[in-house]
Amino acid sequence: MFNLYELNPRRLWVKYVFALGIILFFLVGSHLIHLTVLSHTANDAKIINIAGQQRMLSQRIAFFATKLNTPSVLSEDTEITSSLAAAIKRFESNHYWLLKHALNSDASQQMYFTPNGPEVDRLTKWYIAEARKSISSSDNHPLEDVIVNLDKMASKPLLKKLDDAVTLFADESGAKIERLEFLQLASLGMAIVTIIAEAIFIFFPAQQGIIRSLKKVEDQNQDILLQNTKLVSLSHDLNHEINHDALTGLKNRRALKEELDVCVQGYRSGSQLFILMLDIDDFKEVNDTFGYPVGDLVLKYVAEQLNSLCRREDVVARVGGDEFVIMIESSGLLSESRIHKLAEDIISKLKVPTILQRNEISIGVSIGYAVAEKLPIDGPKLISDADIALRKSKSSGKGMALPYRADMRDELEAHAKLLVDMMHAIENREFVSYLQPQVSLQDGRITGFEVLGRWNHPEKGVLPPSVFIPMAEQVGLIDQIDEIITSDGLAILAKLRAEGYNVPRISINMSARSLRSSNLCTDLTRSVTEQGLAPNDVLIEVLETTMIETSADQAVSTVTELSDAGYGIAIDDFGTGYSSLSMVVKLDVSELKIDRSIVQEMDKAKGRQALEAIILLAKQMNLTVVAEGIETASQFNTLKGLGCDIAQGFKIGRPMSLDQTRRWINSYGKNVSDGPMLAFENLY
Ligand code: C2E
Ligand code: CA
Ligand code: CA
């Protein structure tokens, strides 16, 4: 129950009640003893008093008896006699009272009754008897004898005995009171001891317990506080994680949305809100070429540069793989030109080559931006506007910053619609071949036709490749379009031949995607054979950029396969790429098609020299040279003079439908090889 060390505050009252009970017990005891002492003291005082009276009465009796014997006093003196009688009576009654009340100890019993000693009882009774005799003195008992006896007795030994009795009673009383007082003191002492014990065993442990409990509570509080701090920092971390991009530390899409919402809500007219959307150009190639770790470094680097160029209050966020958004709010001080300048600064700063993991990398980015000026602001639309401007800047050649314009959205929507239309167009085979003639510069004969794709759009009419080819390339539908146009071209060739037109060959443009298909040669040969044609009736035009993009292999082996199968191979737009010569060396090429841009520059010395060099090269390598984009007679004649083999261009004939082609051939001179060669000048 009293465990000093374990203290249950709820059970503490039991200890208190117990301790108080003990204290109360001792206090009540002490009080009772005290009362006993008082009553004993009173009793003893009476005993001592009466014992003392006996002493005094024995003297008085002796005195009165003596007085009775004095000659001057009459023996019949009644006053003395009655006083003597009263003294005797009192002496006697006192004696019996003492016998009854005072003899409480062996010593007192002995003093009064010891048989052989001069005991008080016997002496007293004898003395009383003697005294009575003095009153009724006779001759047998002469008064003188009585007085002598009384005197003898009164002085000794009765007086002595009575003295002793008084002393004995006083001593016994003193001893008893001493014992009781000791008991009372002991009781009080016990109460005090209990109080001290209570202090030691209850109060002190309770105090210690309370201190321990308080300390425990304090520790728990401390713990709770610590936990709370941890929780707060955890929730802070979590919040940071939720709102930030782990790689760059920038805000993420979610945080951007929140910031934008806040900004839109607090937007005041007169201020401006800009959204810049930025996308890294050809980021996929960075990853493909240098690997993902370097890709990550590029993203981090871009994030750092953006932070360094923006103000602290601007929000810079990474919202996708390589997409970033900057939100700039200003109280009307920023003009659109400032934002455009910022965008251009970002572009040029990132373009400066930097070393990332020992690779020198120059980062190209495209930016689109939009501004909100009028209330109410539509946050998501603002982002979407910037995104549209970004896409426009991407499709317009990358590496530039464009502001959003309303017509961009229309364009985009039209573009999206066109994409849907294109998928239907493939299903419905709405793509057809137009033919552009190629003639010999030496004898004017038709050498063939280039097949150029057209889209017979049910609503929009005939659409040129510039409308659908980039889109088809982007979404990966170009090879299906190539296939439709090729089979249409082959069918037209077969048809024209069947109709008696002498068309030596057709050239077909093959996209990179088509050339990457390992089935191309087989499929093409099947189509060619189906039309009753042979591979050498077909020339495949390959763009330099195709081979760079695919960086070899499948496209190269397809071209080799085609060449081995008997198809002619022409390098299209020759002289515009970077690897013209390496292409000529790598591939089994039969023709070079000089690009229109070079033909158009022939009037300038440099252009002319380039033209001459290409023709010379082709001659030395035994390749046929075709010049395209001939628009004037002088271009025609110059090329003829330079020894170029074949001419193609609007001056000779535009890309034409089958009907137009028939008419063109008819007017150019059906079956020219049979008749006189028509001079170009004569024709136009
Ligand atoms: P390309 O292969 O260089 O074709 C020649 C382009 O130059 C044609 O444009 C033609 O109309 C144009 N052209 C010809 N002579 C002249 C001239 O004297 N002056 C001017 N200004 N232009 C001239 P088109 O038909 O719009 O085709 C554009 C490009 O689309 C072609 O360039 C070719 O790369 C691509 N293309 C056309 N059809 C197909 C196809 O079926 N498949 C693939 N993959 N690409 C095709
Ligand atoms: Ca071509
Ligand atoms: Ca070309």
Angle at 498 between CA 487 and CA 593, to 5 degrees: 55
- Best residue among 452, 484, 680 to mutate for probing ligand 1, ranked by most atoms within 8 Å of CB: 452
Q: Tokens 């060959």, residue?
A: 505
Point out the ligand nearest to the CA of residue 648.
Answer: 1
pLDDT at 332: 65
Query: Buried (b) or exposed (e) across 491-509, using 16+ Cβ within 10 A?
Result: bbbbebbeeebebbbbbbb
Would you say how long the chain is, in residues?
684
Contact call for residues 273 and 377 (beta carbons, < 8 A):
yes
Kindly give the pairing relationship between strand 568-574 and strand 591-594.
Answer: parallel
Q: Which residues, in sequence order, are bridge partners of residue 365?
A: 280
Kindly give the pairing relationship between strand 365-372 and strand 359-361.
Answer: unpaired
Nearest CA to ligand 1 atom 33: 509
Nearest CA to ligand 1 atom 10: 655
Distance CA 274, CA 543 (A): 41
Evaluate the omega torsion of the peptide bond into residue 157 and state whether it is cis, within 30 degrees of 0: yes
**Residue 487 beta carbon below 6 angstroms from any ligand 1 atom:** no
Contact call for residues 108 and 102 (beta carbons, < 8 A):
yes
Nearest CA to ligand 1 atom 37: 452
CA distances from 468 to 418, 514, 615 (A): 8, 16, 33
Q: How many CB atoms lie within 10 A of CB 486?
A: 25
CA distances from 521 to 282, 561, 585, 591 (A): 31, 7, 21, 19
Q: Tokens 């000089």, residue?
A: 594
CA 298 from centroid of its chain's CA atoms: 26
pLDDT at 137: 66
Q: What is the DSSP string of 336-376?
A: HHHHHHHHHHHHHHHHS-EEETTEEE---EEEEEEEE-SSS
What distance in angstroms lies between residue 509's CA and the mean position of ligand 3's atoms?
Answer: 9
Q: Which residues, in sequence order, are bridge partners of residue 185?
A: none
Chain segment 598-645, per-residue pLDDT in tens? 999 999 999 999 999 999 999 999 999 999 999 999 999 999 999 999
pLDDT at 140: 62
Ranges of residues in the chain with a pLDDT under 50 are 1-2, 4, 670-684
What distance in angstroms lies between residue 572's CA and the mean position of ligand 2's atoms?
Answer: 5
pLDDT at 141: 62
Copy the structure tokens of residue 620: 């030395």
Q: Quote the DSSP letter at residue 244.
A: B
What distance in angstroms lies between residue 365's CA and the mean position of ligand 3's atoms?
Answer: 29
**Residue 452 beta carbon below 6 angstroms from any ligand 1 atom:** yes
What distance in angstroms lies between residue 572's CA and the mean position of ligand 1's atoms?
Answer: 10
pLDDT at 1: 45
What is the chain's alpha carbon radius of gyration, rounded to the nearest angstrom? 70
Question: Is the Cα torsion angle 162, 164, 165, 171 positive or negative in sign?
Answer: positive
Copy the structure tokens of residue 57: 């009465």
**Residue 539 beta carbon below 6 angstroms from any ligand 1 atom:** no
What distance in angstroms lies between residue 535's CA and the mean position of ligand 1's atoms?
Answer: 22
pLDDT at 126: 85
**Burial of 403 (C-beta count, 10 Å sphere; 0-12/13-18/19+):** buried
Q: Tokens 């995607």, residue?
A: 513
Q: Tell me if residue 575 falls in helix, strand or coil.
A: coil
Q: What is the DSSP string of 246-262?
A: TTT--B-HHHHHHHHHH
